[in-house]
Structure 1
């Protein structure tokens, strides 16, 4: 069986004909396999959803218990129609997984979803999965993107808090995964006191704690007087009246895109923190080198740079040009 007979792009997303399922479809389908809980990969309305237990529970928190008619927890190797599938840690956010698609005859394909190889205290570490075809993102698929150690970025935050003790530090971080990672990194870096969180982060942060992840003392950032110097909020909050309750705040933002200083200036970010839950250029090329697949498929991001690198390494590659995925939510 040829690779494109096992998995190929459609308007709804990656489709597997022998299994009659889609991976991370962008519209409702009868059967979906979901890599992780971010909204550009996990949508409500599918007839049946297979994902890790944590991803299913995150989807229920975000969309309600009736987000699908049928849930199936990914546990070990499962047969769906004419293929077997298995889920493996992606290191991106809590519950995130790569999906291996294994036909009885034909190449083994691994769909990585979004993945990260930097240590992440709030989720399982990335697990290399040998394969014939590797489907990768290329969010930061240019040599200029080389993310620093996240803990070093936290030392910059701590230094700023020490330099400006009277100014609240408001850090923008995506509500699922990034916010909890920033909190956990702050704890690792030595911030022991209360951290205030925007109300939009409360339920997902509570879920991380329920899963055994220690985020330390958290207080709501909804009171008129917030009793914490460090405040974590979703980026959307910075465009609302909520931010006006803080006097002379230091505005920070945690994202891989903060390596592009022009983006930081455009957003009025005084303290850009280069913390990403995606692979950078050294990590994506390292991963492909280690896996040594026969072919690389690229789902989204800077396709041309990674395709050129693959060509120089003698590895076949192709862009899938799937629509509906964000490079890294801001």
Structure 2
């Protein structure tokens, strides 16, 4: 599970507004849309090979009338054969929904949704939302949180090293050493005072916390020393967007890592070790949005500083 939602769009004419609506539907479900367009499905064999290796497509949109006179209903059987479990939305502006269903029934193609062109974006949004809900399990969210933290750890490290080596900030190696020693000393002092094995097991060092602190502090120092202008303003904005990283990503990661899910009449609930409900799967889209926003901001900061090292 990751933050991308892959869409294979087999269509020769679509508007930027339609594409934006699709992207918005993915965003509302907590994902970023990765849309690949095929005008007539000519490369469907290559795309299927890619699907078998990397599974980049979660959803397929198929128009009836394609480029070079290709008909979507003629292409559909091969698509279903090559993509046996991927949901397909078949649509057209020249045929009714019932007529499209008859096309699919004639060739005995299963697992295909149908819609008229005027409503296919609404139907696509509903399908994307439903597919996202199927991913609302603790194991998937736990893994996603771990993945996001691992990626941001790597990006943060490279930014800090780049800032330090290029002389844009000074003294953060000493500050990091003091932070680590301070944390370690506090652990040494406080751990023996913790009462009971259960409480001791709950006490853990989170290296990502210390890393993010030095990342934020060094970034602020670099921004403060920059010449006023658009770049400084942009970096301040990006820094502000990562303000909630500890709570929105790191603490969420930690919470999910020690939580368990309970099946209830209202769906899966996420509980702590004492059985107290701390979130439900309905909270997952917002968490995914927070993961994505923080990751995108840190990626842009990374692109701003680290590539300059190669110049």
Coarse TM-score class (shorter-chain normalised): under 0.3
**Which structure's CA Rg is the greater one?**
2
User: Which structure features the higher share of strand residues?
Assistant: 1
User: Which structure features the higher share of helix residues?
Assistant: 2
